[in-house]
Amino acid sequence: MKISKDTYQKITIKLKINGEIVETDIHVSDLLLNVLRDKLGLTGAKPGCLNGDCGACTVIMNQKPMKSCLLLAIEAIREEITTIEGLLNSTIQKEFVNHFAFQCGYCTPGFVMVSHALLMNDPNPDKKTVIEWLSSNICRCTGYQEIEKALYSVIKGGNACGLKPKNTVKSNGAKKTDETGRLN
Amino acid sequence: MVMIGKSVARKDAWEKVTGQAKYTGDSQEGDMLYVEKVISPYGHALIKKIDLSRARQLAGVKAVITGGNLPLTGEEIRDRYPIAYKRVRYHGEVVALVVADTPKRARQAADTIHITYAPLPVINTPRQALDPKAPLIHEDLGQYKKISKVYPEQGTNIANRTKIRKGNMLKGWSESDVVVEESYSLRPSDHAAMETRCALASIRADGKVFITSSSQAPFMIKRLISEYFGIDIGDVIVTTPLVGGGYGGKASVQLELLAYIASRASGGRLVKVQNTREEDMLTSPCHIGLDATIKLGCSQKGKLKAVKILYLWDGGAYSDKAVSLSRAGAVDCTGPYQIENVSCDSLCMYTNHPYASPYRGYSHSEVLFAFERTMDSLANKLGMDPLELRRMNAILPGHTTPTQVLLNSSSVGNLPACIHRLKKLMEWEKGQRIDLGNFKVKAKGISCVWKTSTIDTNASSGVILIFNPDGSVNLVSGVIEIGTGSKTILAQIVSERLKINLEKVKVQMKVNTQSTPEHWKTVASRGTFMAGRAALQAADDAISQLKHLASCVLRAPVEDFEIGGERVFLRDDPSKGLSYKELAYGYTYPNGNAIGGQIIGRGHYVLRHLTPLNPETGAGKPGPEWTVGAQGVEVELDTREYTYRITKSISVIDAGKVMNPKMAEGQITGAMSMGLAFGGRETFYFDDLGRVMNPQLRTYRPLRYGENPEYVCEFIETPQKDSPYGLRGLGEHGLLGMPAALGNSLSLAAGVHLNELPLLPELIWRKRKGADEGDLL
């Protein structure tokens, strides 16, 4: 696949999202966030700043939380993407409900995804690690205590291990290719 | 009570944790057009020339719109064109709109518009605006159309003046042995809701206008679009889905006007206007700023005797909600104390800043920062415990407020009880300032708070309960779910009154002004009080209908029926009765005959006996009750670097009745978090051209996880006798005392008067350095 320098050129790409292969027409300059929302109808990831500051658009790419406003859609080709829509009935979601860990709900998909990704990577994180991961996102409604309680109740419950999102296949994340490599 | 006081799960829980919850910006339709803005790069300038030639030629561009031929708008004074005309008065003001078939094309076209400006002198503070030599921001102030209860002063930058004249100031000062006078300053800042504002509009061939908006006030949008553009009010239909945070910022009507104008210019097509984060901070209305001077006197024993107050509100370039904010600041111009002699002038000033919208607390956290800092200064001068000074002056039933409302045990909560609990929770007896060694000082600061609402005296709230065939009920209310969970509380109320399972109360989250009864605006911590009363009435109406139907079917007097277990039954023989299910759609006899019909309960509520303020004395009754509370903050200050850590934040609030403990705690702790961020770090930085230098979430920094202190939250319950189950409003109150308590703790820790916000280490360093050198920087 050849990419011209014209950012308005449309191309067809395949993405693997929530375990399904989807095909969509995009501009090469399109953000992953906008493709998810506008092309694929996956509006769980929210725009909050388009600047990487707030984390409301967080998705999981190859088991790592990524801000989808900082990714071009073409960077997600051949990667395993999980959005909040691919995460049904996870323990962390139940604990968010039990602990009232949301109010307006706008930042919630982002916080659920970053918490879930943390538990996938480290089922028993220490306090410093939790702060490091969760401070990537902003919640303006709660005082964060409820989110903290929701997360720690999963950690204490020891349910974190079985928490792989539905349909997520373990990726070979070690493979590093340059951007054109990913596209070819 | 089965349902009241229980931490039942929120009705919007699962849709929110699964990403299924839909907000305004999530809506996407095939024929949608997109609107991009061109905004002013200056705080104050004349528009000399606008070159649209390139924008109009680009593919996909449907319309390019500039100012002119648009009505003046504003809720109380009509002083603002929705799109600037000939002149811009703040950085971020909309100068042109482009409508195109994709967001990218609209942005590309907007970026080709070339505008020539001639900068004008900028007014950067309300004190500057008050200077008689200051340039006028609105030369035609006296000519603007306005409502009757606002008093703009032609030839000045004063959009409104509220006067409080209570008691006899001469007497008050003559009885004052100790007097302090201090000045305070805080700049405008932002709500920073995670969802940026968004509005959609379309206009049908028959003239019907459809708006969808992320708003706290869809019914106000309906009214204002009707008034501004001369459309029958019933032809304006506004929908609001879930809202991603409001905090007052979405109670102003702004983007909706732009969406309407853009749709009108595009043949009525569906258009979408969504703010970028930067536009949300610059262009849309912000959190108001304040300059204040307070002179407070008391007797030798600490009894407050007199206070003279000047509040200069930084209302920004247009008066919209700022006039009402300045009025609310006058209503509760003191802290929650009995003071017989009060003189206050609260002025809404025009400046070249983004204009103001409500902010959680509606002027109260700003007023309380100034007043509660003054209380600490007074305690300091008296050599008295600041908590004791507050306790002995605490407002009580039998006292009067600054607007001369005589309080009773229903209309005001129990402040002494709050102070008593705060004292225990803060371990006050162990000392207020503790040297921890190693250049660390721990200090405790407090603030007492109160607030009533200042909404329209005839603001209405309605609820409809529509039964389903299985006996469950749909709850329809105009309260917006902005995150506070008010609609879950309404469901608890309905469940309790109808004696049905909470699962059987189905809540309609979305509001549509054509099919939902009005709730004036989702503001002022009035949702559960007003809509709660309407819900009770609607439930009683439904019960009456169920009983009448049962009375007919079972041939017994209506008065003999009771309800329970989702049945209507005879009091003396509960086995004889009918289930809600059998009556929900009327009753059908075995032979097929039927009577009645679907049960539809109706309820509405208007707060009683409210009056506007007297223009000379301020006397008047703005709200039904004052929620009170006592709050504290503990900090650890590094005395070399002046950095600090907030270790604990405490609120004791008289909630009247805690309807859902976990949700109430969530409201209070969330509000504390917001108040600490506002007090500690959030502000707009303006340059000499009136430009906001930090309109991004990396330069404007809300609290993040890990920066939050430990939160402690307790409630006192003194019922408000008119409200559902005695509840009082509490959505805003956790925020109110935070800036003041933080200021008091840091002032004590650093040993200097910190009378500005935000309380950054740099401020402490400047004041400390000034104190050390005897020369304030």
Q: Write down the pLDDT at residue A5.
A: 54
Residues of A in contact with B707 (CB under 8 A): 135
- Closest Cβ opposite residue B670 in set A37, A56, A142: A142
Q: Name the fold adopted by B286-372+388-455+611-773.
A: Aldehyde Oxidoreductase; domain 4 (3.30.365)
In this structure, are strands A10-17 and A80-82 parallel, antiparallel, or unpaired?
Answer: parallel
Per-residue pLDDT reduced to its tens digit, B385-412 = 999 999 999 999 999 999 999 999 999 9
Chain CA centroid to CA B261, Å: 27
Instruction: Tell if the CB–CB gap between A105 and B21 is shorter than 8 Å.
Output: yes
- Asked if A95 is an interface residue toward chain B (Cβ–Cβ < 8 A), one would say no
Closest-CA distance of chain B to residue A175, Å: 31
Domain boundaries along the sequence of chain B: 31-120+197-274, 286-372+388-455+611-773, 458-606
Instruction: Tell if the CB–CB gap between B19 and A85 is shorter than 8 Å.
Output: yes
Instruction: Tell if the CB–CB gap between B26 and A43 is shorter than 8 Å.
Output: yes
Residues 47-76 of A with CB under 8 A from B: 47-51, 53-54, 56
CB atoms closer than 10 angstroms to residue B647 = 14
- Asked if A41 is an interface residue toward chain B (Cβ–Cβ < 8 A), one would say yes
Tell me if B31-120+197-274 shares its fold with B286-372+388-455+611-773.
no
Tell me the two tokens of residue A180.
Answer: 């054109």
Per-residue pLDDT reduced to its tens digit, B417-451 = 999 999 999 999 999 999 999 999 999 999 999 99
**Over residues B649-669, mean pLDDT:** 98
Instruction: Tell if the CB–CB gap between A144 and B19 is shorter than 8 Å.
Output: no
Q: Write down the pLDDT at residue B419.
A: 98
CB atoms closer than 10 angstroms to residue B95 = 22
Range with lowest mean pLDDT among B165-169, B250-254, B520-524? B520-524
Instruction: Cite the residue boundaries of each domain of chain A with CATH code 1.10.150.120.
Output: 91-163
Q: Write down the pLDDT at residue A88.
A: 80
Instruction: Tell if the CB–CB gap between A143 and B670 is shorter than 8 Å.
Output: yes
**Over residues B633-651, mean pLDDT:** 97
Closest-CA distance of chain A to residue B542, Å: 31
Which amino acid, B586?
G
Q: Write down the pLDDT at residue B99.
A: 98
Instruction: Tell if the CB–CB gap between B242 and A104 is shorter than 8 Å.
Output: yes
Q: φ and ψ at B537, to 5 degrees?
A: -65, -40
Q: What angle do CA B651, B656, B659 make, to 5 degrees?
A: 90
Residues of B in contact with A141 (CB under 8 A): 245, 483, 666, 670
Q: φ and ψ at B582, to 5 degrees?
A: -70, -20
- Closest Cβ opposite residue A96 in set B17, B247, B666: B17
Per-residue pLDDT reduced to its tens digit, B42-58 = 999 999 999 999 999 99
CB atoms closer than 10 angstroms to residue B690 = 27
- Closest Cβ opposite residue A105 in set B12, B191, B704: B12
Average pLDDT value for chain B: 97
Q: Write down the pLDDT at residue A177.
A: 33
**Over residues B735-742, mean pLDDT:** 98
Q: Write down the pLDDT at residue B771.
A: 73
Residues 117-176 of A with CB under 8 A from B: 131, 134-135, 137-148
Distance separating alpha carbons of residues A107 and B346, to the nearest angstrom: 37
Closest CA to B702 of B281, B361, B279, B356: B281
**What is the percent of chain B with per-residue pLDDT over 70, rounded to a whole number?**
99
CB A58 within 8 A of CB A115: no
Q: φ and ψ at B498, to 5 degrees?
A: -80, -5
- Asked if A97 is an interface residue toward chain B (Cβ–Cβ < 8 A), one would say yes
Distance separating alpha carbons of residues B272 and B23, to the nearest angstrom: 13
Closest-CA distance of chain A to residue B677, Å: 10
Per-residue pLDDT reduced to its tens digit, B130-149 = 999 999 999 999 999 999 99
Distance separating alpha carbons of residues B109 and B193, to the nearest angstrom: 28
Which amino acid, B352?
N
- Closest Cβ opposite residue B194 in set A42, A56, A112: A56
CATH for B31-120+197-274, options being 3.30.390.30, 3.20.20.450, 3.40.190.10, 3.90.1170.50: 3.90.1170.50
Residues 6+ apart with CB under 8 A from B693: B684, B685, B686, B687, B699
State which residue of chain A sits closest to B660, comparing Cα positions.
Answer: A100
Instruction: Tell if the CB–CB gap between A104 and B482 is shorter than 8 Å.
Output: yes
State which residue of chain A sits closest to B13, comparing Cα positions.
Answer: A97
Distance separating alpha carbons of residues B210 and B218, to the nearest angstrom: 11
Residues of B in contact with A87 (CB under 8 A): 18
Instruction: Tell if the CB–CB gap between B485 and A103 is shorter than 8 Å.
Output: yes
State which residue of chain A sits closest to B734, comparing Cα positions.
Answer: A143
Q: Could you say which residues of chain A have pLDDT below 50?
A: 1, 3, 161-184
State which residue of chain A sits closest to B197, comparing Cα positions.
Answer: A48
Closest CA to B240 of B279, B200, B213: B213
Counted across chains A and B, CB pairs separated by less than 8 A come out at 160
Residues 6+ apart with CB under 8 A from A124: A155, A160
User: Where does the pLDDT of residue B644 fall: very low under 50, low under 70, confident under 90, or very high at 90 and above?
Assistant: very high
**The CATH number of domain A91-163 is 1.10.150.120:** yes
Instruction: Tell if the CB–CB gap between A50 and B276 is shorter than 8 Å.
Output: yes
CB B390 within 8 A of CB B337: yes
The residue written with tokens 């209305």 in the block is: B285
Rounded-to-10 torsion of CA B63, B67, B70, B72: 150
pLDDT for residue B777 is more than 50? no
Residues 6+ apart with CB under 8 A from A127: none
CB A65 within 8 A of CB A133: yes
* CA distances (Å), origin B273, targets B44, B60, B444: 25, 16, 46
Closest CA to B279 of B225, B354, B347, B368: B354
Distance separating alpha carbons of residues A88 and A106, to the nearest angstrom: 18
Residues of B in contact with A45 (CB under 8 A): 19
CB atoms closer than 10 angstroms to residue A164 = 15
Residues of A in contact with B276 (CB under 8 A): 50
Q: How many helices (H) and strands (E) does chain B have?
A: 19, 33
First to last CA, chain B: 60
Instruction: Tell if the CB–CB gap between B708 and A143 is shorter than 8 Å.
Output: yes
Which amino acid, B69?
N
DSSP-derived secondary structure letter, B525: T
pLDDT for residue B766 is more than 70? yes
Mutate to test the interface with A, among B8, B17, B197, B660 (most CBs of A within 10 A): B17
- Asked if A82 is an interface residue toward chain B (Cβ–Cβ < 8 A), one would say no
**Over residues B524-549, mean pLDDT:** 97
Q: CATH number of the domain at A10-84, please? A: 3.10.20.30
Task: Name beta bridge partners: A66.
Answer: A59
Which pairs with CB-CB distance under 8 Å and at least 24 residues apart come from A32-37?
Answer: A32/A59, A32/A68, A32/A69, A32/A71, A32/A72, A32/A73, A32/A75, A32/A76, A32/A81, A33/A57, A33/A68, A33/A69, A33/A71, A34/A73, A35/A73, A36/A68, A36/A83, A37/B26, A37/B28
CB B325 within 8 A of CB B290: no
Distance separating alpha carbons of residues B738 and B653, to the nearest angstrom: 13
The residue written with tokens 């990577």 in the block is: A121
Overall CATH class of domain B458-606: alpha beta
* CA distances (Å), origin B750, targets B369, B390, B409, B636: 18, 22, 40, 10
Per-residue pLDDT reduced to its tens digit, B561-619 = 999 999 999 999 999 999 999 999 999 999 999 999 999 999 999 999 999 999 999 99
Secondary structure (DSSP) of B312-351: EEE--S--TTHHHHHHHHHHT-S-SB--SEEEEEEEEE--
